Chain A
């Protein structure tokens, strides 16, 4: 079987989605494609199935929090990096056929951060997104399982946010009974 020639993912995405591709960045040989959050699953599915691209595998999803000030309209550092929202979620996708990687990135707002889920494109996104929802507090609309993944069900806050204190957490096992009762009524007797 003849393998179709590889296409440039940036121009292919620009042709197909136009203004939904908000920004393109190159750093250390890695290409980052910032896309409009609402059209994220569409873009990912396009990159997965189109001939000449075939990003068939989802390697990783990681979220980053630009709190307190490295984002927004006033931000002008880091060589003009584009950061419209506080939270960014990066989808690291891999094309085994053409042996190359691509990062697709979408931003979420500070108030009630939301993104559409990518589980419809890759089942692998299920737990990776659950982890981000748990640790970073970003809601993935349409995700089939919205329970917390790593932290206990009754945990308060989202530990990977930059405003979540490091080393100052509710002690789950302590003699601070008032605190325990507040969170864990079942532990009373």
Chain B
């Protein structure tokens, strides 16, 4: 290769490498002169919980600021939804927050139900509550295991995943899928619970509280854990609100806000449970809240399972303009065949208007904004996801703490990058 051409290509490369001037105004002036160090963390770092790149500005070991860089897992889900009928778009929503797909299904289904003004029968609502609380347990178990392993406690991961397997086994029983379940659908759930589900979940509810005590025995009073977690990543309540934080991260700062209580959906207002709150807004309080949420979820699950045994009836809306008929109806009714054909080919029309509906996922508020077109495909679907908001708040949570604390802070807000990038 000619020397001149090579020199030119180096020039070209320089042009694309970018200079520090691009970051002017985003990092402090001290970084411009080289007084503080800019350091990349990720995108392939084990404790970034996915592919997240953080550009850290460090003064010695202290974090001055950080610039999160996301988009590595962007899959264009919102764009793809625009080309699918409402029912067929549902499996895509599983793939956003892959640790609690049931919550995504629920947020999307609630939004579609609101747009269509569709009813959900009582049994369907009870099954939904069971699924959502199981999803909360499964998601918190992954959080617990990975958060602990980030901070150097190796064994918790194995215990947490042991229990998570049982929850995923129950999801498989319900939907045929361990993770990407697509079980909660507009109008109710895909099918009724199978006969072996009730004994399995009862066994789980008997066993699980003791397991939560085991996790607590490993961590809650552990001096190393307390050392790493207490007083780290403190967020004041007004800062948390200004940055739009929700879920356990907001409740850790002592703000009593849980959509299951404040704006109940799926019959949550009829269950007896508490909303655990923190005081200090640090990593440790957010840990305690999620541990207590295991116990609150158990309370809800016990009540819901008891109801499931008594409440019989349809598990999905019988509005045949929106919900496909059962297999058993197809052999007997011509009308059912027509509905079946229409709903699985064309779908249904939704009004040319917009709605926003939000639910409380394990991580916080998942909002779903749908704008219909009047036809069978949406004009725009937008998901407001808790991970997105919490990553954008990382700079205020982490500045002033040590580099090693960054790992604890990322773990404590429980981010999922698929949820963030969509």
| A binding-site residues for B, Cβ under 8 Å | 27-28, 30, 32, 56-60, 62-66, 70, 77-79, 81, 90, 92, 96, 99, 101, 103, 122-124, 126-128, 131, 144-145, 147-152, 159-160, 162, 164, 166-167, 184-186, 188-189
CB contact between B379 and one of A64, A151, A167, A185 (< 8 Å): that residue? A64
Asked if B369 contacts A60 (CB within 8 A), the reply is yes
| Main SS class of interface, A | loop
Asked if B353 contacts A81 (CB within 8 A), the reply is yes
Asked if B392 contacts A126 (CB within 8 A), the reply is yes
- Report how many residues on chain B are interfacial, defined by Cβ distance under 8 Å: 53
Give me 30 A-to-B residue pairs in the complex whose CB atoms sit less than 8 angstroms apart, sorted by A's number: A28-B115, A28-B117, A59-B384, A60-B382, A62-B369, A62-B380, A62-B382, A62-B384, A64-B379, A66-B379, A77-B374, A78-B353, A79-B353, A90-B356, A96-B255, A103-B356, A122-B244, A124-B242, A127-B388, A127-B391, A145-B26, A150-B70, A150-B71, A160-B78, A162-B82, A164-B79, A166-B79, A184-B16, A185-B15, A188-B9
Asked if A127 contacts B389 (CB within 8 A), the reply is yes
Asked if A30 contacts B356 (CB within 8 A), the reply is yes
CB contact between A78 and one of B117, B262, B352, B369 (< 8 Å): that residue? B352
Asked if A124 contacts B374 (CB within 8 A), the reply is no
Bound Cα distance A66, B372 (Å) = 11
Please give me the residue from chain B that is nearest to A121 by CB atom.
B242
CB contact between A123 and one of B83, B243, B369 (< 8 Å): that residue? B243
10 A-B pairs besides A57-B244, A160-B380 with CB distance below 8 A are: A32-B354, A59-B244, A60-B382, A103-B354, A122-B242, A124-B244, A126-B392, A159-B76, A159-B79, A166-B79
Provide the B362-387 mask, 1 if CB < 8 A to any CB of A, else 0. Answer: 00010101010110000110101000
Bound Cα distance A150, B388 (Å) = 11
Contact status of A64 and B392, CB under 8 A, knowing A59-B244, A59-B365, A124-B242: no
Provide the B129-146 mask, 1 if CB < 8 A to any CB of A, else 0. Answer: 000000000000000000
Q: How far is the CB of B360 from chain A (nearest CB, A)?
A: 13
Asked if A27 contacts B353 (CB within 8 A), the reply is yes
B residues 140-198 touching A (CB-CB < 8 Å): none
Residues of A within 8 Å of B389, CB to CB, are 124, 127
Bound Cα distance A180, B17 (Å) = 17
Residues of B within 8 Å of A59, CB to CB, are 244, 356, 358, 365, 367, 384
Please give me the residue from chain B that is nearest to A103 by CB atom.
B356
Asked if B374 contacts A123 (CB within 8 A), the reply is no
Please give me the residue from chain B that is nearest to A164 by CB atom.
B79
Residues of A within 8 Å of B88, CB to CB, are none
Residues of B within 8 Å of A166, CB to CB, are 79-80, 82-83
Residues of A within 8 Å of B311, CB to CB, are none
Bound Cα distance A63, B16 (Å) = 31
CB contact between B369 and one of A90, A96, A162, A186 (< 8 Å): that residue? A90
Residues of B within 8 Å of A77, CB to CB, are 352, 374
Asked if B369 contacts A28 (CB within 8 A), the reply is no
Bound Cα distance A76, B15 (Å) = 50
Q: Identify which of B26, B80, B354 gathers the most chain A CB atoms within 10 Å of its CB.
A: B354
Q: How far is the CB of A93 from chain B (nearest CB, A)?
A: 10
